[in-house]
Amino acid sequence: MDVQKHTRRRFLTGSAGATLGAAAVGTAAGMQLPHKGTASAAPSPTHHTPSIIPFFGAHQPGIADPTPTNAAFLAFDLKTSTVKSDLVDVMRAWTGLAAALMRGDTSADTSLVSTGSTPGKFTMTVGLGGAALDQLGIKRPPALVDLPLFPGDELEVAASHGAVFVQLCSDDAIYLGGAVRAVRAAAKRVLRPRWQMNGFRGAAASTASSNGRNLMGQIDGTNNIAVSRASTGGPVWGDAVSPAWMTGGSYVVVRRFRMFLSKWESAGSSTRDSAVGRHIPSGAPLRAHKESDRST
Protein backbone atom coordinates (compact mmCIF):
# COMPACT_ATOMS: atom_id res chain seq x y z
CA MET A 1 0.00 0.00 0.00
CA ASP A 2 1.34 3.40 -0.96
CA VAL A 3 1.05 5.33 2.31
CA GLN A 4 1.81 8.64 0.61
CA LYS A 5 -1.60 8.59 -1.10
CA HIS A 6 -3.51 8.52 2.16
CA THR A 7 -4.55 11.64 4.00
CA ARG A 8 -6.64 12.00 7.11
CA ARG A 9 -9.47 13.43 4.97
CA ARG A 10 -9.85 10.04 3.26
CA PHE A 11 -11.01 8.62 6.58
CA LEU A 12 -13.31 11.56 7.30
CA THR A 13 -16.36 12.86 5.51
CA GLY A 14 -18.70 15.78 5.85
CA SER A 15 -21.64 13.64 4.71
CA ALA A 16 -23.35 14.15 8.07
CA GLY A 17 -21.66 17.48 8.41
CA ALA A 18 -22.47 20.75 10.02
CA THR A 19 -20.69 23.91 9.09
CA LEU A 20 -21.06 27.25 10.83
CA GLY A 21 -19.08 30.43 11.32
CA ALA A 22 -20.00 32.86 14.06
CA ALA A 23 -18.64 35.85 15.93
CA ALA A 24 -18.35 35.35 19.68
CA VAL A 25 -19.33 38.86 20.60
CA GLY A 26 -17.20 41.18 22.68
CA THR A 27 -18.07 43.27 25.71
CA ALA A 28 -19.33 46.14 23.55
CA ALA A 29 -21.85 44.00 21.67
CA GLY A 30 -24.83 45.95 23.03
CA MET A 31 -23.79 49.02 21.04
CA GLN A 32 -25.56 47.57 17.96
CA LEU A 33 -28.74 46.65 19.84
CA PRO A 34 -31.30 49.00 21.41
CA HIS A 35 -31.04 49.33 25.20
CA LYS A 36 -34.06 48.72 27.39
CA GLY A 37 -33.63 48.40 31.15
CA THR A 38 -30.67 46.59 32.63
CA ALA A 39 -29.28 43.14 32.08
CA SER A 40 -30.24 40.49 34.60
CA ALA A 41 -26.67 39.43 35.31
CA ALA A 42 -25.46 38.38 38.73
CA PRO A 43 -24.91 41.39 40.99
CA SER A 44 -21.32 40.66 41.88
CA PRO A 45 -18.39 38.50 40.71
CA THR A 46 -18.23 34.91 41.91
CA HIS A 47 -15.19 33.68 43.80
CA HIS A 48 -13.29 30.98 41.96
CA THR A 49 -13.63 27.44 43.32
CA PRO A 50 -12.50 24.15 41.76
CA SER A 51 -15.91 23.59 40.13
CA ILE A 52 -16.77 27.22 39.33
CA ILE A 53 -15.34 29.44 36.58
CA PRO A 54 -16.03 33.19 37.03
CA PHE A 55 -18.68 34.62 34.74
CA PHE A 56 -17.34 38.17 34.76
CA GLY A 57 -14.21 39.14 32.84
CA ALA A 58 -12.78 41.02 29.88
CA HIS A 59 -13.86 38.23 27.53
CA GLN A 60 -16.63 35.67 27.36
CA PRO A 61 -15.99 32.46 29.29
CA GLY A 62 -15.56 29.15 27.51
CA ILE A 63 -12.86 30.25 25.06
CA ALA A 64 -9.67 30.38 27.11
CA ASP A 65 -10.81 28.23 30.04
CA PRO A 66 -9.67 24.65 30.76
CA THR A 67 -10.79 22.02 28.25
CA PRO A 68 -14.13 20.59 29.41
CA THR A 69 -15.10 16.93 29.58
CA ASN A 70 -18.48 17.51 27.91
CA ALA A 71 -19.79 20.14 25.53
CA ALA A 72 -22.99 20.93 23.67
CA PHE A 73 -23.09 23.18 20.62
CA LEU A 74 -26.46 24.72 19.73
CA ALA A 75 -27.48 26.66 16.64
CA PHE A 76 -30.66 28.69 16.30
CA ASP A 77 -32.45 30.55 13.54
CA LEU A 78 -34.22 33.86 14.11
CA LYS A 79 -37.94 33.62 13.67
CA THR A 80 -39.19 35.61 10.68
CA SER A 81 -40.75 38.32 12.84
CA THR A 82 -37.67 38.79 15.05
CA VAL A 83 -36.40 42.37 15.44
CA LYS A 84 -33.40 43.76 17.32
CA SER A 85 -35.31 44.35 20.55
CA ASP A 86 -36.37 40.68 20.58
CA LEU A 87 -32.77 39.54 20.36
CA VAL A 88 -31.87 41.99 23.13
CA ASP A 89 -34.43 40.26 25.36
CA VAL A 90 -32.87 36.86 24.63
CA MET A 91 -29.34 38.12 25.30
CA ARG A 92 -30.44 39.62 28.62
CA ALA A 93 -32.16 36.39 29.62
CA TRP A 94 -29.12 34.35 28.62
CA THR A 95 -26.79 36.71 30.49
CA GLY A 96 -28.68 36.14 33.71
CA LEU A 97 -28.95 32.42 33.02
CA ALA A 98 -25.22 32.04 32.30
CA ALA A 99 -24.22 34.00 35.40
CA ALA A 100 -26.53 31.87 37.56
CA LEU A 101 -25.56 28.49 36.14
CA MET A 102 -21.86 29.29 36.29
CA ARG A 103 -22.12 29.98 40.03
CA GLY A 104 -24.19 26.84 40.63
CA ASP A 105 -27.67 28.38 40.82
CA THR A 106 -29.97 25.95 38.98
CA SER A 107 -33.25 27.72 39.80
CA ALA A 108 -33.67 28.79 36.17
CA ASP A 109 -33.63 25.14 35.04
CA THR A 110 -37.33 24.40 35.36
CA SER A 111 -36.76 20.89 33.98
CA LEU A 112 -34.98 20.14 37.32
CA VAL A 113 -32.42 18.09 35.37
CA SER A 114 -29.44 19.95 36.88
CA THR A 115 -30.87 20.16 40.42
CA GLY A 116 -28.43 18.66 42.91
CA SER A 117 -25.52 18.65 40.46
CA THR A 118 -22.45 20.87 40.65
CA PRO A 119 -21.41 23.21 37.79
CA GLY A 120 -18.34 21.17 36.90
CA LYS A 121 -16.61 24.28 35.51
CA PHE A 122 -19.70 25.15 33.48
CA THR A 123 -19.32 27.88 30.87
CA MET A 124 -21.66 29.43 28.32
CA THR A 125 -20.45 31.26 25.21
CA VAL A 126 -22.69 33.06 22.71
CA GLY A 127 -21.97 34.06 19.12
CA LEU A 128 -23.88 35.69 16.26
CA GLY A 129 -23.76 34.22 12.78
CA GLY A 130 -23.86 36.21 9.58
CA ALA A 131 -27.50 35.23 9.03
CA ALA A 132 -28.56 37.01 12.23
CA LEU A 133 -26.70 40.19 11.35
CA ASP A 134 -28.07 40.17 7.80
CA GLN A 135 -31.67 39.72 8.97
CA LEU A 136 -31.35 42.50 11.55
CA GLY A 137 -29.65 44.92 9.16
CA ILE A 138 -26.31 44.95 11.01
CA LYS A 139 -23.13 45.07 8.96
CA ARG A 140 -21.00 41.96 9.26
CA PRO A 141 -17.40 42.14 10.53
CA PRO A 142 -15.12 41.70 7.49
CA ALA A 143 -13.82 38.37 8.81
CA LEU A 144 -17.29 36.87 9.24
CA VAL A 145 -17.88 35.19 5.89
CA ASP A 146 -19.88 32.08 5.03
CA LEU A 147 -17.75 28.97 4.80
CA PRO A 148 -17.26 27.61 1.27
CA LEU A 149 -18.01 24.03 0.29
CA PHE A 150 -14.79 22.07 0.88
CA PRO A 151 -13.68 19.05 -1.21
CA GLY A 152 -15.53 15.92 -0.07
CA ASP A 153 -18.28 17.81 1.75
CA GLU A 154 -21.81 16.40 1.56
CA LEU A 155 -23.47 18.82 3.95
CA GLU A 156 -26.95 18.41 5.33
CA VAL A 157 -28.51 21.86 5.15
CA ALA A 158 -30.72 21.30 8.20
CA ALA A 159 -27.62 20.41 10.24
CA SER A 160 -25.56 23.35 9.00
CA HIS A 161 -25.43 27.14 9.31
CA GLY A 162 -27.47 29.08 11.86
CA ALA A 163 -28.03 32.64 13.05
CA VAL A 164 -27.13 32.32 16.74
CA PHE A 165 -24.57 29.95 18.25
CA VAL A 166 -24.31 28.81 21.87
CA GLN A 167 -21.51 26.70 23.32
CA LEU A 168 -22.13 25.03 26.69
CA CYS A 169 -19.37 23.19 28.55
CA SER A 170 -19.21 21.24 31.82
CA ASP A 171 -17.44 18.32 33.42
CA ASP A 172 -20.89 17.17 34.63
CA ALA A 173 -23.05 15.77 31.80
CA ILE A 174 -26.26 16.02 33.84
CA TYR A 175 -25.63 19.68 34.70
CA LEU A 176 -24.95 20.31 31.02
CA GLY A 177 -28.20 18.60 30.02
CA GLY A 178 -30.20 20.87 32.32
CA ALA A 179 -28.40 23.92 30.94
CA VAL A 180 -29.33 22.96 27.37
CA ARG A 181 -32.99 22.79 28.38
CA ALA A 182 -32.82 26.15 30.16
CA VAL A 183 -31.10 27.88 27.23
CA ARG A 184 -33.73 26.64 24.79
CA ALA A 185 -36.60 27.62 27.10
CA ALA A 186 -35.28 31.17 27.57
CA ALA A 187 -35.14 31.75 23.80
CA LYS A 188 -38.19 29.91 22.48
CA ARG A 189 -40.24 33.07 21.81
CA VAL A 190 -37.60 34.55 19.51
CA LEU A 191 -35.34 31.74 18.28
CA ARG A 192 -36.04 28.45 16.54
CA PRO A 193 -33.64 25.52 17.25
CA ARG A 194 -31.74 24.48 14.13
CA TRP A 195 -29.27 21.81 15.24
CA GLN A 196 -27.35 20.50 18.24
CA MET A 197 -24.04 18.67 18.40
CA ASN A 198 -22.60 17.09 21.55
CA GLY A 199 -18.95 16.43 22.24
CA PHE A 200 -16.82 14.79 24.89
CA ARG A 201 -13.24 14.17 25.96
CA GLY A 202 -11.60 11.89 28.49
CA ALA A 203 -12.60 12.30 32.14
CA ALA A 204 -9.28 13.96 32.99
CA ALA A 205 -9.46 16.48 30.14
CA SER A 206 -9.93 19.57 32.31
CA THR A 207 -7.20 18.70 34.82
CA ALA A 208 -4.59 16.74 32.85
CA SER A 209 -1.30 18.46 32.03
CA SER A 210 -1.00 16.55 28.75
CA ASN A 211 -3.20 16.37 25.67
CA GLY A 212 -5.75 13.56 25.44
CA ARG A 213 -6.65 11.34 22.50
CA ASN A 214 -9.60 11.46 20.14
CA LEU A 215 -11.53 8.47 18.76
CA MET A 216 -8.94 8.01 16.02
CA GLY A 217 -6.35 7.35 18.73
CA GLN A 218 -4.57 10.57 17.82
CA ILE A 219 -3.22 12.91 20.49
CA ASP A 220 -5.40 15.97 20.01
CA GLY A 221 -4.62 19.63 20.67
CA THR A 222 -0.84 19.57 20.25
CA ASN A 223 -0.64 22.93 18.50
CA ASN A 224 -3.51 24.69 20.29
CA ILE A 225 -2.82 28.35 20.98
CA ALA A 226 -2.08 29.21 24.60
CA VAL A 227 -4.32 32.13 25.63
CA SER A 228 -5.96 33.49 28.77
CA ARG A 229 -9.07 35.55 29.51
CA ALA A 230 -6.78 38.26 30.87
CA SER A 231 -4.94 38.72 27.56
CA THR A 232 -5.87 41.01 24.68
CA GLY A 233 -5.37 40.96 20.93
CA GLY A 234 -3.27 38.26 19.33
CA PRO A 235 -4.67 35.44 17.19
CA VAL A 236 -7.73 34.82 19.43
CA TRP A 237 -9.12 38.12 20.73
CA GLY A 238 -10.39 40.98 18.60
CA ASP A 239 -8.68 44.16 19.88
CA ALA A 240 -9.42 47.67 18.54
CA VAL A 241 -11.31 46.14 15.64
CA SER A 242 -14.20 47.24 13.46
CA PRO A 243 -17.06 47.07 14.23
CA ALA A 244 -16.49 48.19 17.81
CA TRP A 245 -18.85 45.57 19.25
CA MET A 246 -16.36 42.86 18.28
CA THR A 247 -13.64 44.33 20.53
CA GLY A 248 -12.73 41.65 23.05
CA GLY A 249 -14.65 39.05 21.05
CA SER A 250 -13.48 36.15 18.93
CA TYR A 251 -14.62 33.87 16.10
CA VAL A 252 -15.69 30.25 16.06
CA VAL A 253 -15.86 27.77 13.19
CA VAL A 254 -17.74 24.51 13.71
CA ARG A 255 -17.18 21.51 11.43
CA ARG A 256 -18.66 18.05 11.96
CA PHE A 257 -17.03 14.97 10.49
CA ARG A 258 -18.08 11.35 10.25
CA MET A 259 -15.18 9.06 11.12
CA PHE A 260 -14.78 5.74 9.31
CA LEU A 261 -13.08 4.12 12.28
CA SER A 262 -13.09 0.56 10.96
CA LYS A 263 -11.27 1.64 7.78
CA TRP A 264 -8.93 3.80 9.85
CA GLU A 265 -8.00 1.04 12.28
CA SER A 266 -7.44 -1.51 9.50
CA ALA A 267 -5.23 0.83 7.47
CA GLY A 268 -2.01 -0.07 9.30
CA SER A 269 0.15 2.02 11.58
CA SER A 270 2.40 3.49 8.88
CA THR A 271 -0.60 4.61 6.85
CA ARG A 272 -2.23 6.23 9.88
CA ASP A 273 1.02 7.97 10.86
CA SER A 274 1.48 9.30 7.33
CA ALA A 275 -2.14 10.52 7.14
CA VAL A 276 -1.81 12.49 10.37
CA GLY A 277 1.80 13.55 9.86
CA ARG A 278 2.67 12.28 13.33
CA HIS A 279 3.42 9.00 15.05
CA ILE A 280 0.09 7.97 16.57
CA PRO A 281 1.53 6.34 19.74
CA SER A 282 3.74 9.29 20.79
CA GLY A 283 2.20 12.23 18.96
CA ALA A 284 5.66 13.13 17.68
CA PRO A 285 6.05 14.53 14.16
CA LEU A 286 7.32 12.05 11.60
CA ARG A 287 11.08 11.49 11.95
CA ALA A 288 10.92 12.94 15.49
CA HIS A 289 10.59 11.40 18.94
CA LYS A 290 8.47 13.65 21.20
CA GLU A 291 5.11 15.35 20.78
CA SER A 292 6.73 18.73 21.41
CA ASP A 293 9.42 18.25 18.72
CA ARG A 294 9.23 20.50 15.67
CA SER A 295 8.32 18.97 12.32
CA THR A 296 11.26 18.50 10.00
Q: Which of 105, 153, 220, 239 is catalytic?
A: 220
Q: Is the CB of residue 168 less than 8 Å from the CB of residue 39?
A: no
Please report which helix (H) or strand (E) contains residue 12, including its range: strand 12-13
Other residues' Cβ atoms within 10 Å of the Cβ of residue 20: 26
Please report which helix (H) or strand (E) contains residue 197, including its range: strand 191-200
CA-wise closest residue to 283 among 206, 208, 221:
221
Q: Which residues lie closer than 8 Å to 210 by C-beta, 6 or more apart?
A: none
Tell me, yes or no, if 2 is annotated catalytic.
Answer: no
- The SS3 of residue 158 is helix
CA end-to-end distance (rounded Å), the chain: 24
Catalytic residues: 220
